[in-house]
Chains A and B, each alone.
Chain A
Amino acid sequence: MRRTPTATLLLGLIVTLATVLAYSWYISRQITGLRQLQTDLTDRNRRDSLLLLRIQGDLNQIALAMRDMLDPDETYPIQAWSAQFDRIRADLDDALAQQEAVTVARRTPEQARFLASSVAQFWDASARIFELAAGGHADEARSQVRLSLQPRQAALSTAVARFLVQNNESEAQTAEQVQQIYATVQRQVRWFLFATLAAIVGTGVFLIRSSQRLFSELASLSDQRRELAQQLIGARESTLREIARELHDEFGQILTAIGSMLGRAARQAPDGSSLRQDLREIAEVSQDALDNVRGLSQSLHPSILEELGLGSTVDWYMTTVERQLGLVVDYERSADLPPLDENVSIHVYRILQEALSNVARHSGVHDAAVRLFWDDGQLTLTVQDRGRGLAVDGGRRGLGLVTMRERAALVHGALELVSPPGGGTLVRLTIPVQGPVAA
């Protein structure tokens, strides 16, 4: 049993689809990982940095406020800054709470505790200073601002600055990590593309080679079929020729001899006797059988084809068509047909027979036109009717048509079936023929 490439192709398709799915899953995982990395680290880091900047801004405002509190030209008492500190504290507390929520896990608990306790200590100290000031101890309050509040603010500011630096470093590390992931994915994409390309090329080569093999086998099969058909046609013609010869030569001569003997026997019988009458009738029957045998022989294989050539054979055949097929034929031919090889002539003759037989059987009309012309190195036979045309039988082509094509191929000719504008069918056979050498 012959192996088809379908199974291999299906396997290839399944492998390719599986590879694409696997790679899509891989890429999707990498992207999810990147997104997570960005969300977890980069974005949080940036939000953390923004909040740290806001905290730093608040601490700077506190520093400026403390500078103003200590200004000797300042007319307002220290407790006047209480509301300003409250406003800054509200914003600072909000920023610290948000910052704690988004801060990256890299920060140590000690650092977080330090920030929280430093801020709490700062506000405790500031509250004490405002209390001192409210209690009339402005100078001591100023001194406490200088000795306690300003250093605490500076420490806090330094801590926040350090966190910002940490965040920058963390962001740089994350960026490097992201770059590595990108590089890996890029490498994987290149490999995948390469593998996909290789698979496509392999599949393509396999398909081309399979197709080539299939076409080669098909061509071989076609040649074998043609050879067989031609051998069959040849065998048939040969058989018909033999049968025709046998009929003509053997049975014809026997019947001719029987006829002669019956004639002689009848002449020897007394005139007017019933024997003479019977012998004459038998002689007539014998003659009829002889005529039928000769006619059958001619129809199986016209011997005149070999004796008189294609033109005369066709001329003779045309005289029998009305009787045999019931067709009235308008027939014309070139007077100077070149002598043709018998093998060529018999195929032309058979094609003509088949074409007219088709007209009689399928066209639905009772007349046809036959033309046989030789012109410019080409013999052309056309059989045309005005009947139902090719489409009527649904385009089905019987064995006769196949045989016609094969016969045409045997003589290196071309057979066309066309639907002429006026309707009906036109069968055209063209054969390249070497013409008679001019004198």
Chain B
Amino acid sequence: MNRREFLRRSALGAAGATVTLEQLLSAQGGPGFRLVDVTRSAGITFRHNNGAYGGKFLPETLGSGCAFLDYDADGWQDILLINGMDWPGHRRQRSTLALYRNNRNGTFTDVTKAAGLDIEMYGMGVAVGDFDNDGFPDLYITCVGQSRLFRNTGKGTFVDVTAAAGLGKREAFSTSAMWVDIDRDGRLDLFVCNYVRWSPDRDVFCSLDGRQKSYCTPEAYRGETCWLFRNRGNGTFEDITATCGIFDSGSKALGVALLDDDQDGWPDIFVANDTEPNKLYRNLKNGRFREVGLAAGIALSADGKARAGMGVDVADIDNSGRPVIAVTNFEGEMVGLYRAEQAGRFRDVALASGVGQPSKNRLGFGCVFADLDLDGDVDLIVANGHIDDTVRNIPGNVGYAQPPHLFLNDRGAFRDVAAQAGGGFEQPRVGRGLAVADIDNDGDLDILLTTNNGPAVLFRNDRQSANQSVRFKLTGTVSNRDAIGATVRITHGGITQSRMVRGGSSYLSQSELPVTFGVGHRDVVERAVVSWPNGRVEEFRNLATGKRYDVVEGKGLVNR
């Protein structure tokens, strides 16, 4: 089709023009949407500081995460960016985490100081969850050293309650974290990943040439167990790590995700480990877990090797109701895509699905499943970037900065459309954290990506098709207020899609809690079923698409 024909058909009447345009884009192999880099126009000026001064400390390689949260509960997603800081004795600048309030007009305002988050810490990741069920999301910031719990006062500010909550006096190299109600008591518990036993005074000298120090691989350090804190419901937490079955002093965890792999309605936990087998902790429904990673087939690669697990996300990508787990790995190891062949038994289908080969020569970190083109098939976004900036000196290497992946899912077959997504999305970056949310409430998902020792980038998703979405924001009453662990299933045209409300996932980051379904051209969803974390099930019929529904446990749809 020539340019004149394209323009002529694009200029057709309003009723038919959209479909024609979509057909044209599809015919031209376009993804059906366009990403626009709105970082500058949105007012996001954040720049990550990893404190690198030449000491080649391991945390400098890992970057930090980001989160979408509605901290002021106004229905618009705000942005939190985690930051590192200069190392003691090498202070050059002040760097803090950054909170950006959504101005509801495409711009954001930096409210870090006003929110009381103008604090220096060597931050790594973030978990957002309303642990006190007051309607305002609280923050757990993982750090190198002491991680922090910030309670949201509901008045636009946060208060550090780490010590009061019983989470103080814990120095570690913490990475990803996740809020999850493991015992279904309606209160969010906290799972924290720890990487290795590292501190500046435990640093090991590693070198490629025997003279100059270089970054060590995790094998140089001892592992550290992940932590699980049970929410007592009185603002304090109990460390049940040693008794709940997740204690593992050899673990080198970087990513964590919530799933229900055995479909029993109780939350299970997946942990991505770096150079150690991944772990799958199955909930025994009594406050304890049993590790079943090896038997479930997710511990190792298809050839039996423990890979460098970084980020992780879980989704029902084939509308089977069963979870598929994506795990990003080191360069040469490709992304792992574990599909449940039967409940609790997984097989790595990365190569067969088209995700494996393109990701083989990239070093992946953040990864998020999201239906970006709203066609009903969940797509996969992967942030890439090497850990060592000297890699650029190695001939033939893919480089320190690497292009991210945007795998568009077409009925189980993935193709990387990063280069066609627009907005400079395909530019090589030292990508780390990754999260998605609908920042402009237009029904599609926008992307936030952090880079190591660099800026964060915000991409707005501009739909170029007539595809519609339907979104659900769940509020628990008996279950935890954020409804983390709830599953929404919608049925339209004989297809049933499912989404779980998740904290954690990706790498050091957290996406928004509302769930988004792409439904293509459908105007109505025939059936929507919400399975709340405490086991209650609610069903709704004939919901118009193109809307966001607020569902309150026991009260149904409050904004129909």
244-302 of chain B: CB within 8 A of chain A = 244-250, 291, 294
B202: nearest chain-A partner, CB-CB: A73
B11 within 8 A of A: no
Query: Are A80 and B250 in touch, CB under 8 angstroms?
Result: no
Contacts of A83 in B (CB 8 A): 242, 244-247
Query: Are B222 and A80 in touch, CB under 8 angstroms?
Result: no
B-contact bits for A228-244, CB 8 A (1 contact / 0 none): 00000000000000000
Contacts of B353 in A (CB 8 A): none
B241 within 8 A of A: yes
A87 to B170, CA, bound (A): 26
Query: Are A91 and B294 in touch, CB under 8 angstroms?
Result: yes
Query: Are A76 and B250 in touch, CB under 8 angstroms?
Result: no
Query: Are B250 and A64 in touch, CB under 8 angstroms?
Result: yes
Contacts of B176 in A (CB 8 A): none
Query: Are B294 and A84 in touch, CB under 8 angstroms?
Result: no
Q: With A76-B241, A77-B242, A80-B242 as given contacts, are A87 and B291 in contact (CB-CB < 8 Å)? A: yes
Query: Are A81 and B294 in touch, CB under 8 angstroms?
Result: no
B-contact bits for A210-245, CB 8 A (1 contact / 0 none): 000000000000000000000000000000000000
Query: Are B294 and A65 in touch, CB under 8 angstroms?
Result: no
54-69 of chain A: CB within 8 A of chain B = 61, 64-65, 67-69
A67 to B223, CA, bound (A): 12
Q: With A84-B248, A84-B249 as given contacts, are A64 and B242 in contact (CB-CB < 8 Å)? A: no
A75: nearest chain-B partner, CB-CB: B170
A79 within 8 A of B: yes
B242: nearest chain-A partner, CB-CB: A80
Q: Which of B245, B247, B250 contacts A61 (CB 8 A)?
A: B250
B200: min CB distance to chain A, Å: 15
Query: Are B291 and A80 in touch, CB under 8 angstroms?
Result: no
B170: nearest chain-A partner, CB-CB: A75
A-contact bits for B205-240, CB 8 A (1 contact / 0 none): 000000000000000001001000000000000000
Contacts of A87 in B (CB 8 A): 248, 291
What band does the interface of chain A fall in when counting residues whose beta carbon is under 8 Å from B? Answer: 10 to 19
A-B contact pairs, 11 of them (CB 8 A): A61-B250, A64-B249, A67-B222, A77-B242, A79-B242, A80-B247, A83-B242, A83-B244, A83-B246, A83-B247, A84-B249
Contacts of B291 in A (CB 8 A): 87
Not counting A76-B242, A83-B244, a sample of 15 additional A-B residue pairs whose C-beta atoms are within 8 angstroms of each other reads A64-B222, A65-B249, A65-B250, A76-B241, A76-B247, A77-B242, A79-B242, A80-B225, A80-B241, A80-B242, A81-B247, A83-B245, A84-B248, A84-B250, A87-B291
> In the complex, which of the residues B244, B250, B294 has the most CB atoms of chain A within 10 Å of its own CB atom?
B250
Contacts of B222 in A (CB 8 A): 64, 67-68
Question: What are the 9 A-B residue pairs with the smallest beta carbon separation, nearest first?
Answer: A80-B242, A68-B249, A83-B245, A80-B247, A76-B242, A83-B247, A87-B291, A84-B248, A65-B249
262-303 of chain A: CB within 8 A of chain B = none
A86: nearest chain-B partner, CB-CB: B245
Contacts of A69 in B (CB 8 A): 249
B222: nearest chain-A partner, CB-CB: A68
A87: min CB distance to chain B, Å: 5
Contacts of B244 in A (CB 8 A): 83
A86: min CB distance to chain B, Å: 8
> In the complex, which of the residues B222, B247, B250 has the most CB atoms of chain A within 10 Å of its own CB atom?
B247
167-223 of chain B: CB within 8 A of chain A = 170, 222
Contacts of B170 in A (CB 8 A): 75
What band does the interface of chain B fall in when counting residues whose beta carbon is under 8 Å from A? Answer: 10 to 19
B251: nearest chain-A partner, CB-CB: A84
A81 to B222, CA, bound (A): 15
A51: min CB distance to chain B, Å: 13
B-contact bits for A37-63, CB 8 A (1 contact / 0 none): 000000000000000000000000100
B294: nearest chain-A partner, CB-CB: A91
Query: Are A81 and B245 in touch, CB under 8 angstroms?
Result: no
B11: min CB distance to chain A, Å: 65
> In the complex, which of the residues B225, B242, B245 has the most CB atoms of chain A within 10 Å of its own CB atom?
B242
78-136 of chain A: CB within 8 A of chain B = 79-81, 83-84, 87, 91
Contacts of B249 in A (CB 8 A): 64-65, 68-69, 81, 84
Query: Are A76 and B225 in touch, CB under 8 angstroms?
Result: yes
A65: min CB distance to chain B, Å: 6
Contacts of A67 in B (CB 8 A): 222
A91 to B277, CA, bound (A): 14
A349 to B222, CA, bound (A): 123
Contacts of A64 in B (CB 8 A): 222, 249-250
Contacts of A65 in B (CB 8 A): 249-250
A76 to B250, CA, bound (A): 14
B219: min CB distance to chain A, Å: 12
A65 to B242, CA, bound (A): 13
> In the complex, which of the residues B222, B243, B249 has the most CB atoms of chain A within 10 Å of its own CB atom?
B249
A83 to B243, CA, bound (A): 8
B255: min CB distance to chain A, Å: 20
169-227 of chain A: CB within 8 A of chain B = none
A87 to B225, CA, bound (A): 14
B459: min CB distance to chain A, Å: 42
Contacts of A81 in B (CB 8 A): 247, 249
A146: min CB distance to chain B, Å: 17
Contacts of B245 in A (CB 8 A): 83
A76 to B242, CA, bound (A): 7
A64 to B248, CA, bound (A): 11
A65 to B291, CA, bound (A): 17
A61 to B251, CA, bound (A): 11
A77 to B248, CA, bound (A): 13
A83: min CB distance to chain B, Å: 5
Contacts of B247 in A (CB 8 A): 76, 80-81, 83-84
A23: min CB distance to chain B, Å: 42
> In the complex, which of the residues A61, A77, A80, A81 has the most CB atoms of chain B within 10 Å of its own CB atom?
A80
> In the complex, which of the residues A68, A75, A76, A83 has the most CB atoms of chain B within 10 Å of its own CB atom?
A83
B223: min CB distance to chain A, Å: 8
Contacts of A76 in B (CB 8 A): 225, 241-242, 247
A283 to B295, CA, bound (A): 138
A306 to B247, CA, bound (A): 136
A436 to B245, CA, bound (A): 131
A250 to B362, CA, bound (A): 129
Contacts of B243 in A (CB 8 A): 80
Contacts of A84 in B (CB 8 A): 247-250
Contacts of A68 in B (CB 8 A): 222, 249
B228: min CB distance to chain A, Å: 12
A69 to B248, CA, bound (A): 11
B204: min CB distance to chain A, Å: 16
A77: nearest chain-B partner, CB-CB: B242
A76: min CB distance to chain B, Å: 5
B119: min CB distance to chain A, Å: 24
A64: nearest chain-B partner, CB-CB: B250
A79 to B246, CA, bound (A): 13
Contacts of A77 in B (CB 8 A): 242
